[in-house]
Amino acid sequence: MSSAAPDASAQTLPAANLRRARPKPAGGADVSSGGPDDWLWRWVTFSPALLMMLLLSVLPLVNLFLTSFYNVTWTGGQPTWTPVGVDNYNELVHDELLRAGLFNTLVFAIFAVGGQMLFGFVLALLCCRVTRGRILYRTIFILPILVPGIVVGAIWKLLLNFDFGLVNQLIGLIGFEPMNWLGAKATALASVIFVDVWHWTPFCFLLFLAGLESLPQDVYEAGKIDGATIWQELRYITLPMMLPTIMVTFAFRLVTAFKVFDEVYLLTGGGPGTSTEVLSFTLYQRFFRQDRTGYGASMSMFIIFLVCILLVMALSARKRVSAPA
């Protein structure tokens, strides 16, 4: 009796009260009350995880941050660290490549993520009520995200090749002139965005499909009884209920889009000119190709800062849409 009663009460109490409702062990200290033994035990068990986290994520960031205030050169096989204050950060402001990269990354993120969300949602809507051949169509739709980035690059580099590409051969059949999809300023970024949409739409599709399939059916049934049209069903039932899923997917894809690298590296190399220059590619050039460790570190910090801002914005937007009216 004495052991069953608290459990029963715990089920009915809000989570915040659970701690208070737990029993005290007979003749012993209260393990949940924060006594000295409990405090020690918590830290003993928690510290390995904390230490691991510090080592793996905080320490590299701190190291990166500190490096951003130095210039690193090599002489006699040994590095020389020269403090330069905030010079590296000042240089960021004047870096034209970075400016082009930032602009293109924003354009890329908006259109690529927008396209993926739109196509992913439409596909999920079309497929959520299909019952026959579910495994087959899902397998087909998710194929692009299973393809490694390097293979995606190879596939589309071949398809979009000016002289020998299948796309130009196909449009040639209907009388169009071949286009330099990846090499012309007007089409290069759009082509990279298209490839990214092709690559990542299935990811959005899967999340949206899972979200749609978990929506309560009684709301739809009520809507039908009230005579709601398909459009009204979408507008007043599906979209509002899907909003948290949409926001999470959007936040995740937005952050990932800001980190785009492989498609640009493989398809266009940032060109022509700076038409497809993106932040990660600029960083790659400054940090790795040009071996500018200190400046590269400051650029890394800037990009991390941007991604953090985006994440905070996306999460607060999600909170707003999830909050009860």
Partner 1 sequence: MRESSITGRVTRSGISRRRVLAGAGAAAIGALGNVRFAAAAKVAPITIVINQSPWFESFRKTVELYEKETGNKVELDVNPFAGSLEKQRNSVRAAKGQYDLLIMNGGWFAEMYFGGFVEAISDIDPSFKLDPDVYTLGDTVFFDPVKKVMTPQGKLMSVPIGPLIPLLYYRGDLYKEAGLKAPETFAELEANARKLHKPPGRYGIVQRGARGPATVSFDFYPYLYGNGGGIFKNQAAADYTVTLNNEAGRTALEYYLRLAKEVGHPQTASLDQADVIQNMLTGKAAHISAVIAAWSPMDDPDKSAVVDKVEFAPTPHAAGLTTASGLGHWLGGIARNIPDDRKRGAVEFLRWFQTKDAQIASAKLGGIPVNAAAYRDPISQERKFRWMKPLADSLPHAVNVYQFPEASEVIAILELGLNQAVAGNTAAAPALNSMADQIHGVMAKYGYATGKLPPL
Binding site for partner 1 (CB under 8 A): 74-79, 97, 162-164, 180, 182-185, 188, 268-274, 285, 288-292
Q: Phi/psi zone of residue 75: left (φ > 0), alpha (ψ -120 to 50 degrees), beta?
A: beta
Nearest distance, CB of residue 189 and partner 1, angstroms? 13
Nearest distance, CB of residue 271 and partner 1, angstroms? 4
What Rg value do the Cα atoms of the chain yield, rounded? Answer: 27
For partner 1, the closer CB: 104 or 249:
104
Burial 14-30 (b: 16+ CB within 10 A, else e): eeeeeeebbeeeeeeee
Nearest distance, CB of residue 162 and partner 1, angstroms? 5
Question: Could you give the residue ranges of the DSSP H alpha helices within 214-288?
Answer: 217-225, 230-233, 239-258, 262-267, 279-283
For partner 1, the closer CB: 120 or 270:
270
> Which amino acid appears at position 240 of this protein?
P
Nearest distance, CB of residue 129 and partner 1, angstroms? 45
Nearest distance, CB of residue 197 and partner 1, angstroms? 21
For partner 1, the closer CB: 286 or 318:
286
How far apart are the C-alpha atoms of 178 and 194, rounded to whole Å? 18
Burial 170-195 (b: 16+ CB within 10 A, else e): eeeeeeeeebbbbbeeebbbebbbbb
Both structure tokens of 307: 């991604």
Length of the chain: 325
For partner 1, the closer CB: 39 or 176:
176
For partner 1, the closer CB: 253 or 286:
286
